[in-house]
Structure 1
Amino acid sequence: MKHLNTFLVATLLLLGVGVANAQDENNPWAIEVGVNAVDTFPVGLRDGQTESDALNGDLFEEFYNVNDHWNIVPSVSKVSIGRYIGSGFSFAAVGTINKIEKMGDVSVDDLSYIAADGEIKYSFRDLINGPGGWFDPSIGVGGGYTWVDDIGFGTANGLASVRIWIGENLGVNFQTAYKHAFEDAYGVKHFQHSAGVVFKFGGKDTDGDGIFDKDDECPETPGLPEFNGCPDTDGDGIEDRNDACPNTPGLAEFNGCPDTDGDGIPDPQDACPTVFGLAALNGCPDADGDGITDAEDACPNEAGPKANNGCPYQDRDGDGVLDKDDQCPDVPGTVANKGCPEVTVEIIQQLNEYSKTILFDYDKATIRQESYSALQSIANIMKEYPNTTFHIEGHTDSRGSDAYNMKLSKERAASVMNYLTTIGMTSNRLTSEGYGEARPVATNNTAAGRQQNRRVEISLQK
């Protein structure tokens, strides 16, 4: 137990020097200082050896026989420096020293032990805990060169470790490495156990504003120290996050927004921000005094009834849109659609009955020729609603990867939109988007359900 106690006490003493939490892209560099123990016994039988002897035994035999087999020096005997590579991987260069007093149960003269190794580790920390977790197990491989007295030999290493993060800048690492000697004649196969503490440094400053990401409340946008790394783009003394108008200098009383016309109403709430107006009319003027703001008055310099949008003109179809503004003056429509009729649910259903018959080449976005008639019917209906923008949606079933299905659905929706433009539809009245397998209308567990899910739908652009 004496050597184990020495090993643990040395580790605890090392905590006094203080060093880091888990390596990541924000603090990629790490230094470890610790102690190590060398055990040559549980490495497997030698060629020709049939059972355990005093020198060595079966693999992992008496693995924790600290008193009889472990070689430990009660001082700092391990130093490493590592660099986070990305995606959980890190690389480290490691140097260790020790004194070999026993090989297995055989005492030997104090042989010096020096090793220089390179390690590549993969951490399971984020998979187990999520970012910032305290429990950080890793596995890794490596290689190096070891000298026992004046004999040197190369090794191939396999290792496992557990880091316990106990504070912002402090963690404890426990590691076991198996070192397989390449030289059978004089190489020494052995296990090397170690414990130590780790210091992380090299903080990342993504936006280059001189404030490390971990302390930067806006790490991807250059900012100012007085705003904890966040910007004040317009320089009005109000940081962008609290500035309702971050790109235009404004006043604190208006949350950073300007009052261009000086009427006491900030521009975002002022319906007429460049013209002095009345608070009762949201900052807009009423030049003809008919109670309708000039911005809403179709005839701002000529008084007219409110029911007729401030104009004296007639509204022949009685749809509330003045004839001069009504793009369909003899057909009742809606104000929102500039006096023209709006597409009904029934029309959308009719469009989608045609869209159900649109066929594509297998696994492609190429429209089959037999679908051209249905597409012409769709275009004819759309042309009856000249002020309406239609949205073409592409959908797939759940077979195939999410990424592939998304790509195919986008391409098919775009293919339908492009074809409609070739037969008379203007492109600014059409939009398209693919939704992959995300919006099924039937189960994907049957062929019939999947067929329903492979579809093109038409809706109104919102």
Structure 2
Amino acid sequence: MKHLNKLFVAALMVLGLNAQAQDEDNPWAISFGANAVSTRFGASNEVGDQFSGYFKTENWNILPSISYVNVSRYIGSGFTFGVTGSVNKIDKVVTRTPGTQDYMTTNPGDVTYYGADGIIKYGFLNKSWFNPYVHVGGGYTWLDDSGNGTVNGGIGVNFWFTENIGLTVQSTYKHTFEDQAEANVPRHIQHFAGLTFKFGGKDTDGDGIYDKDDECPEVAGLKQFNGCPDTDGDGIADKNDSCPDVAGLAEFQGCPDTDGDGITDASDACPEVAGLKQLQGCPDGDSDGIADKDDKCPTVAGPKENGGCPWPDTDGDGVLDKDDLCPEVKGTSANRGCPEVTEEVMKRLNEYARTILFNSGKATFKEETMPVLASMLAIFKEYPQANFSIEGHTDSDGSNALNQTLSENRAGAVKNFLVENGIQSDRLTSTGFGETKPVASNKTAKGKAQNRRVEVKLIKTE
């Protein structure tokens, strides 16, 4: 039972499909509802007596729930093939007393009835709300674990409430060829009543043309265009119209040319102003090869690299900004727009450098020397393209090896300070000379103080 209820849920999901009449356009249908089983028909031996009990519902076995499901497919020319699964409870079995017309109803003990049947239907008045049909088929029926094959036939009718939803009423006679008294399943009539939903064919866009015949199945259209629309009404179907939302001319595949420059609006980057083909229909007022819409200086010719404007010379040194390595500082052409380091500048740098104070025997700065380093840093930043060498020197106190190492470390300390404060490392080198290049005598304290120094040299490039 629970399985049939699951089938019922599945059938409700089917309702989400765009169902229509079950024919070559909508070939599928699903039906579900209740069934009733009567053995009164099979117990009779005369035709008249069989039909006299046809409507005696007191002999019917009815399960008050969804108890059958049928799935069918239209196969053409009014014929439909389907399969039916059904379940019931048999608590009334009608038998006839041999040699008499007397009938007796017995309870076999709530036997479970299962049916699995194939059915071929032929329908009449298929386009009407009233749709009768006849059917034949066969299957297998079980009462508990015992069963018989059956040959089936009967009649039915569909009453269509809408184009795709209807009420189905059907009676099927199931005949077994075994003796009625000896058969596992007696001959009987099974009545069906339920809802039928037809589906399978689609008209996605709702234009009255099924998708299989619709060249534009997702957009409502016109019959003369096989279901395709002509949104702008220019007589060209949208699928063939390069400009489907704006009326145009056939010579331009349905597109307009508002500015009359021979370029359709759809391809014209400036559709309201006549322009040049090589600029996608846009004008070039200053003839610099850049369309006015992309030209930052449309009335003055300039290179594309500068947005159509002439190159500026911000610092006025005669070197254009694009070639000026120091565009905001006046320099010389020879130094690519940057200022050149003069002897006066080097003199100032070395005046500062000679006053750098290190802690005794170390490469660390004394606190009072930090303003000196800051002043040197400012000069280095004024000449961003110049390269310098930082040189360290010591007096003669101590061993040569120790003095060499100390001079290298002190020169390196100055370089590290400058790099850490924004000077590019590839502009600087550091070298130590130990006690090898004294500028005064190492025999006096004053001379030794002069020899403990840092010097800055300009590295000249070709």
TM-score normalised by the chain length of structure 1 = 0.42
**Greater C-alpha radius of gyration:** 2
Normalised to the residue count of structure 2, the TM-score between the two structures is: 0.42
